[in-house]
């Protein structure tokens, strides 16, 4: 049995990892410590998994006294490198939420610590474990040599807006959506193509959120526009209250900050082109204010074309789809009440058209969360190289790092300028 310690006691750490680990994997995984900069939130995680796991006020003390085999990092993105490096030097392996980190300097610190210590960092790309993505990768092998990928990802104004309320809204915390969110998407392209990115040209702007309207406040609580603003949320009830409202007095972190604030400096609209080492190209776009949510991907190769679509909508129907739960603070990250449209279609060069029968899926993130956790804890469901290494994490992040620099400097940026692998 391995011993696990937690850094970060928010929604993801609690419901993706701690609760199911204590409930379903008690015979293979022992939780030996919890640390969070907010002691109230750490105590709440402790209570939700039975109350017997010690809460530590100091991370270094936890590493020394709890002696975990593995540290699970689910803290704010900008702190990942600090906790990962310390855990590696303490002799622990690390499981970290995506993204690996937010910029190239922090990335190099992690990679160097891993090289020096010989310990291992695993990055949790749950999209790799979605049955839909597994089928997409399998069918991509039928288009011949991949020459181009067109990838469009769109967040609706329920999920998308939430990144502009939370700590993600400043690049110093998250690297922007092009790192925090898109690292998932870049990893899927890298994984499907089995290739590495070489160069990126990007454009980005904030067109919908940020200081784009006059009727705005500091936060939703107490806002004079609460009755008329479509983005108003109430964090005084349910899980929001327990995790955030009740914990504000410790760190003054407000979970309901105004999505139109001046301090927002992340983009809500991004477009980029990437060139891969093998010569293939990717065009990618992300918008965070669509009327419905999902993605479309087209993979073109020398022998055909693969078209994939995965959308979810509140306009009708039932299903759970990719509901992340990140913005909705739902237990175990499960979406609800959304109609899901899914299709994978293969077009051959000789007129062949195949609609791929899709596998059943259930659970958070299109069935990816549960499969990922099982693979991490007991080693199953790892066929096809799904478990992501620090190198995979670095390469997916590097596209975001390069995009941020390209947006700032107005030029193409080579991956080799940023990280050495």
In a domain, 118, yes or no: yes
Which of 377, 340, 376 has its CA nearest to residue 361?
340
Q: Which of 355, 378, 243 is nearest to 309 (CA)?
A: 355
Q: Please state, in angstroms and rounded to a whole number, the distance separating the CA atoms of residues 249 and 230.
A: 27
**Tokens for 223?**
């806002």
Q: Same domain, yes or no, for 101 and 179?
A: no
| 95 in the same domain as 54 | yes
408: number of CA atoms within 13 Å, CB side?
Answer: 12
325 domain-assigned: no
pLDDT digits (tens, 9 = 90+) for 226-278: 999 999 999 998 888 999 999 999 999 999 999 999 999 999 999 999 999 99
**What is the pairing mode between strands 70-73 and 2-7?**
parallel
Does 11 share its domain with 50?
Answer: yes
The SS3 of residue 387 is coil
CA dihedral (126, 357, 295, 348) positive or negative: positive
Rounded Cα–Cα distance for residues 133 and 148 (Å): 18
Residue 323 within any structural domain of the chain: no
Is 229 in a helix, a strand, or coil? Answer: coil
Helices (H) and strands (E) in the chain, counts: 15, 16
Distances (CA, A) of 350 to 118, 127, 302, 389: 50, 32, 12, 39
Same domain? For 79 and 100 the reply is yes
Task: CATH number of the domain at 35, please.
Answer: 3.40.50.720
If DSSP codes are grouped into helix, strand and coil, which group holds residue 281? strand
Instruction: For 81-146, give the DSSP string.
Output: HHHHHHHHHTT-EEEEESSS-SSHHHHHHHHHHHHHH---EEEE-GGGGSHHHHHHHHHHTTSSSE
* CA gap 14, 208 in Å, rounded: 31
Question: How sure is the predictor about 332, in pLDDT bands with cuts at 50, 70 and 90?
Answer: very low
Does 225 lie in the same domain as 158?
no
For residue 395, the enclosing domain spans 127-209+264-315+330-367+389-417
Same domain assignment for residues 157 and 306: yes
pLDDT of residue 312: 86
The Cα 96–Cα 125 span in angstroms is: 10
353-358 — which CB contacts under 8 Å span 24+ positions? 356/135, 356/139, 358/131, 358/132, 358/135
Q: What is the pLDDT of residue 55?
A: 97
Q: What are the pLDDT digits (tens) for 61-90?
A: 999 999 999 999 999 999 999 999 999 999
Instruction: Give the residue with greater pLDDT, 165 vs 238.
Output: 165
Residue (of 389, 364, 379) closest to 126 by Cα position: 364
Query: Of 108, 123, 138, at which residue does a domain stop?
Result: 123
Residues 346 and 199 in one domain: yes
What is the number of structural domains in the chain? 3
Element (H, E) at 284: strand 281-290
Same domain, 108 and 136: no
C-alpha span between 187 and 368 (Å, rounded): 14
Q: Which residues contact 247 (CB under 8 A, 6 or more apart)?
A: 38, 40, 41, 44, 253
Helix residue ranges, H only, 157-277: 159-162, 171-174, 177-180, 182-193, 238-243, 248-251
Report residue 197: phi and psi, to 5°: -70, 145
Q: What's the confidence (pLDDT) of residue 206?
A: 97
Last residue of a domain, one of 99, 123, 147: 123
pLDDT for 353-389, tens place per residue?
Answer: 999 988 877 778 888 899 999 999 998 655 667 999 9
DSSP state letter for 219: B
Distance of CA 236 to the CA centre of its chain: 26
Both 305 and 348 in a single domain? yes
300 membership: H or E segment, kind and range? strand 293-301
For 69, half-sphere exposure in the C-beta direction (CA atoms, 13 angstrom radius) is: 8
Determine, yes or no, domain membership for 295. Answer: yes
Decide if pLDDT at 60 tops 60: yes
* Residue 322: pLDDT band with limits 50, 70, 90: low
Residues 6+ apart with CB under 8 A from 310: 132, 294, 295, 296, 321, 322, 340, 341, 342, 366
SS3 232: coil
For residues 337 and 407, state if they share a domain.
yes
pLDDT confidence tier of residue 143, bands split at 50, 70 and 90: very high
Q: How does the average pLDDT of the chain come out, rounded?
A: 92
pLDDT digits (tens, 9 = 90+) for 84-123: 999 999 999 999 999 999 999 999 999 999 999 999 999 9
Q: Do 234 and 353 lie in a common domain?
A: no
Q: Is the pLDDT of residue 336 over 70?
A: no
| Cβ atoms 182, 399 nearer than 8 A | yes
Angle at 162 (CA atoms; ends 159, 168), nearest 5 degrees: 125
- The CA distance from 180 to 286, in Å, is 12
- The pTM for the full model equals 0.93
pLDDT at 328 over 50: no
Q: What is the CATH number of the domain that holds 162?
A: 3.30.360.10
Q: Of the candidates 123, 158, 183, which is a domain's last residue? A: 123
* CA atoms 335, 84, 254, 212: torsion sign: negative
> Is there a single domain that holds both residue 257 and residue 285?
no
């Amino acid at each position: 049995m391995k011993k696990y310690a937690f850094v970060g006691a928010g929604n993801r750490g609690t419901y993706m990892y701690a609760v199911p680990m204590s409930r379903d994997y008690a015979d293979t995984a022992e939780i030996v410590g919890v640390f969070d900069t907010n002691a109230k939130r750490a105590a709440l995680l402790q209570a939700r998994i039975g109350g017997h796991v010690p809460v530590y006020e100091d991370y270094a003390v936890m590493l020394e006294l709890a002696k975990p085999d593995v540290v699970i990092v689910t803290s704010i993105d900008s702190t990942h490198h600090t906790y990962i490096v310390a855990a590696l030097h303490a002799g622990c392996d690390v499981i970290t939420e995506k993204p690996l980190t937010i910029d190239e300097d922090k990335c190099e610190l992690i990679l160097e610590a891993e090289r020096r210590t010989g310990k291992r960092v695993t990055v949790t790309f749950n999209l790799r474990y979605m049955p839909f993505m597994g089928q997409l990768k399998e069918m991509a092998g039928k288009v011949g040599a991949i020459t181009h990928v067109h990838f469009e990802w769109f967040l609706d104004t329920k999920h998308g807006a939430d990144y502009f309320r939370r700590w993600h809204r400043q690049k110093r915390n998250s690297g922007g959506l092009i790192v925090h969110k898109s690292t998932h998407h870049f990893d899927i392209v890298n994984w499907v193509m089995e290739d590495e990115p070489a160069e990126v040209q990007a454009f980005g702007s904030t067109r919908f959120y940020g200081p784009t309207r006059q009727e705005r406040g500091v936060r939703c609580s107490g806002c004079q526009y609460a009755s008329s603003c479509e983005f108003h949320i109430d964090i005084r009830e349910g899980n929001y209250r327990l995790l955030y409202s009740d914990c504000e007095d410790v760190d003054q972190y407000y979970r309901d900050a105004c999505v139109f604030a001046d301090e927002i400096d992340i983009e809500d609209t991004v477009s980029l082109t990437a060139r891969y080492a093998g010569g293939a190209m990717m065009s990618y776009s992300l918008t965070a204010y669509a009327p419905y949510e999902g993605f479309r991907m087209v993979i073109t190769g020398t022998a055909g074309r693969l078209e994939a679509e995965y959308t979810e909508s509140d306009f009708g129907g039932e299903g759970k789809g990719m509901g992340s739960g990140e913005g909705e603070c739902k237990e175990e990250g499960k979406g609800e009440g959304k109609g899901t449209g899914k299709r994978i279609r293969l077009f051959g060069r000789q007129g062949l058209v195949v609609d791929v029968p899709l596998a059943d899926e259930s659970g958070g993130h299109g069935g990816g969360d549960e499969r990922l956790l099982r693979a991490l804890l007991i080693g199953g469901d790892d066929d096809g190289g799904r478990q992501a290494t620090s190198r995979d994490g670095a390469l997916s992040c590097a596209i975001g790092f390069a995009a941020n620099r390209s947006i700032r400097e107005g030029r193409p940026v080579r991956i080799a300028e940023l990280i050495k692998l």
